[in-house]
Amino acid sequence: MPGLLEGKTALVLGVANRWSLAYAIAQALKRESADLILTFQGDRQRQGVEQLAEELSAAALPCDVTQEEELGLLAEAIKTRSGRLDAVVHSIAFAGKEDLSRPFVETSRGGFLLAQEVSAYSLVSVARAVAPLMAGGGSILTLSYLGATRVVPNYNVMGVAKAALEATVRYLASDLGPSGIRVNAISAGPVKTASARGVKDFSKVLDAVAERAPLRRNTEPAEVADTAVFLASDLARGVTGNVIFVDAGFQIMGL
């Protein structure tokens, strides 16, 4: 049977290592026959991501989203290599460790702006760079978390950035919809990754989910990845501007 993404080219930003949600997503896109391009952030990640890309028969290109010119070069390189793009996965966030542990009220101006720039604004700049490559329509997908709308201890400045990210999804969906480009977010349950470890007492969040979520367990990266496949595929052709929860149901619970 042909894969759900046969004949489609997908760009995945945000693979740092095998534990990254972006890596699980890249694996699932590959399973469904997508032609894959991964990016790495700076020389420190180059070797590791190139190795993972090789295993997935994918290309690996540099992209630090705070460097506007790197986004331009990335779009140029994809145009030369593939001529077009059908799906883009934005799986990127960053905040200073001190802003994920001290009281939110103590967030510095610099820390607030950094989290917004990397975790929310970058979706705007990525969308602007890739939209010209999606002349036949396409799907842009980002990763959010419940902390966008509820207070989760220590998530702090990242929760505010995720709120901006989810609003960004809606504005981009409205802007790009007439061009056939869909924009959505997956709100994933907590998963132990390098970024998640930066949040103080993250393991307590995992314990609370396993205890209280309707499915009584935590989220598997592969579950997030399969929803990403759906959103990237034509099965989701009528879905845009949405935040889809893949969180074992945790977000519906009151007490």
Residues that are catalytic? 145, 155
Q: Looking only at residues 171 through 190 of this chain, which bind ligand NAD when binding is defined by CB under 6 A?
A: 188, 190
β-strand partners of 128: none
In the bound state with ligand NAD, the residue whose beta carbon lies nearer, of 167 and 194, is: 194
**228 alpha carbon, distance to own chain's centre:** 9
**For residues 19, 24, 25 and 29, what is the CA-based torsion angle, rounded to 10 degrees?**
150
In the bound state with ligand NAD, the residue whose beta carbon lies nearer, of 192 and 237, is: 192
Q: Looking only at residues 45 through 74 of this chain, which bind ligand NAD when binding is defined by CB under 6 A?
A: 63-66
Map residue 187 onto helix, strand or coil. Answer: strand
Tell me the HSE value of 14 on the side-chain side, using a 13 A CA sphere.
26
Binding of residue 240 to ligand NAD (CB under 6 A): no
CB 207 within 8 A of CB 6: no
Binding of residue 141 to ligand NAD (CB under 6 A): no
CB 185 within 8 A of CB 226: no
Binding of residue 145 to ligand NAD (CB under 6 A): yes
- Of 107, 193, 218, 240, the residue at the interface with ligand NAD (CB under 6 A) is 193
Binding of residue 191 to ligand NAD (CB under 6 A): yes
Shortest distance (Å) from residue 197 CB to ligand NAD: 8
Q: Which of 91, 196, 177 is nearest to 141 (CA)?
A: 91
Binding of residue 244 to ligand NAD (CB under 6 A): no
Binding of residue 93 to ligand NAD (CB under 6 A): yes
Mask for 94-133, x = binds ligand NAD (CB under 6 A): x-----------------------x---------------
Q: Which amino acid appears at position 161 of this protein?
A: A
DSSP codes of every residue in 28-91:
HHHHTT-EEEEEESSHHHHHHHHHHHHHTT-EEEE--TT-HHHHHHHHHHHHHHHS--SEEEE-
Binding of residue 218 to ligand NAD (CB under 6 A): no
Which residues form the interface with ligand NAD (CB under 6 A)? 14-16, 20-22, 41, 63-66, 91-94, 118, 143-145, 188, 190-191, 193-196
